Amino acid sequence: MDQPSYARIAADLRAKIVRGDLAPGVRLPARHELADEYRAAEGVVRQATEVLVREGMLVSRPGAGMFVRQRPQRRSLVRSWFRERQAGSPFAQQMEEQGRHGTWAYRSDTMQAPPEVRERLGLAVPDGDQHDVMRTAYVFTSADDEQPWMLSTSWEPLSLTKGTSIAFPEGGPHAGKGVTHRMAVVGVDVDAWDEEVWARTATREEAQQLGIGAGSIVMVAERSYFAGERVVEVADIVVPAESTKLVYNGPVGDS
């Protein structure tokens, strides 16, 4: 009894799944049957299956049963590539290069930057409630399964873009052209990016938008675009960890 009983049951079920003994899509025996089989209380079996649901091995459908997850291969979201092509190209192009299709919805608004964003963009403390950034929120949907799979929000300082033809990222003559191109229009030379990645549990709203279980894991990538030392755009990306990988690559130099 080194490990608790629910962990032992979870481990056994997990092993059966990875061995293929329980195939993807297969329905597990009901709780009371498993409890019988493992000679444990129903509550204990429940703890075990909870663990596996959180791990993404099982999907539970109330009233129907618990099913072994069909493992969709993880989507690779390439966030940098030094060989194939340069960074900064717009989303649609990136997706096509990866052989994926999809659509996205967006919404742009001017607003007052929340404190974190203000700090990341290096903005001054605003007067009163004056708007100082353009926020654009995206929801990306895969054409394959018509399922939203990525949320993204970008902030650009109005001090750079206000009154210009690029004020709305997805409007005007330069719509959808990517930050680099758009910023060049107003004489800003975007030359570097920085991305900070971490993971956390999804908020209720994110879980709903992404069609994942409450409390599922999401990865967050916070990207900043630089023109010299100046941050000219920040963009946050949220993707489900169970179905997405973030991919980075680069050269190894020794000069």
- Residue 234 interacting with its own copies (CB under 8 A): no
- Residue 42 interacting with DNA (CB under 7 A): yes
Q: Are 206 and 218 in contact (CB under 8 A)?
A: yes
Give the binding range for DNA (CB under 7 A) out of 4-12, 18-26, 219-227, 241-249: 4-12
Name every residue whose Cβ is closer than 8 Å to that of residue 179 and which is 6 or more positions away in sequence. Answer: 88, 190, 225, 232, 233
Q: Are 135 and 108 in contact (CB under 8 A)?
A: yes
Q: Which of 2, 19, 20, 64 binds DNA (CB under 7 A)?
A: 64
> Min. distance of Cβ 225 from its own copies in angstroms?
7
Give the binding range for DNA (CB under 7 A) out of 15-23, 31-39, 135-143, 170-178: 31-39
Structure-block tokens of residue 127: 């007067």
Q: Are 195 and 210 in contact (CB under 8 A)?
A: no
- Residue 183 interacting with DNA (CB under 7 A): no
Q: Which of 21, 23, 24, 43 binds DNA (CB under 7 A)?
A: 43
244 binds, among DNA, its own copies, none (CB under 5 to 8 A by kind): its own copies
| Contacts (CB under 8 A) with its own copies, residues 4-63 | 7, 51, 54-56
Closest-CA residue to 175 (of 118, 104, 80, 101): 104
> Min. distance of Cβ 214 from DNA in angstroms?
7
Looking only at the bridges linking them, the beta strands covering 192-201 and 58-61 are: unpaired
- Residue 180 interacting with its own copies (CB under 8 A): yes
DSSP reduced 3-state for 125:
coil
**234, containing H or E segment:** strand 230-240
Name every residue whose Cβ is closer than 8 Å to that of residue 248 and which is 6 or more positions away in sequence. Answer: 79, 80, 195
Q: Is 30 or 143 the residue whose CB approaches DNA more closely?
A: 30
Name every residue whose Cβ is closer than 8 Å to that of residue 56 and which is 6 or more positions away in sequence. Answer: 69, 216, 242
- Residue 144 interacting with its own copies (CB under 8 A): no
> Min. distance of Cβ 110 from its own copies in angstroms?
25
Name every residue whose Cβ is closer than 8 Å to that of residue 7 and which is 6 or more positions away in sequence. Answer: 48, 51
What residues make contact with DNA under the rule CB under 7 A?
4-7, 28, 30-33, 40-44, 46-47, 49, 53, 60-66, 214
What residues make contact with its own copies under the rule CB under 8 A?
3, 7, 51, 54-56, 74, 76, 79-80, 82-83, 86-88, 180-181, 184, 190-201, 204, 215, 217-219, 225, 241-242, 244-255
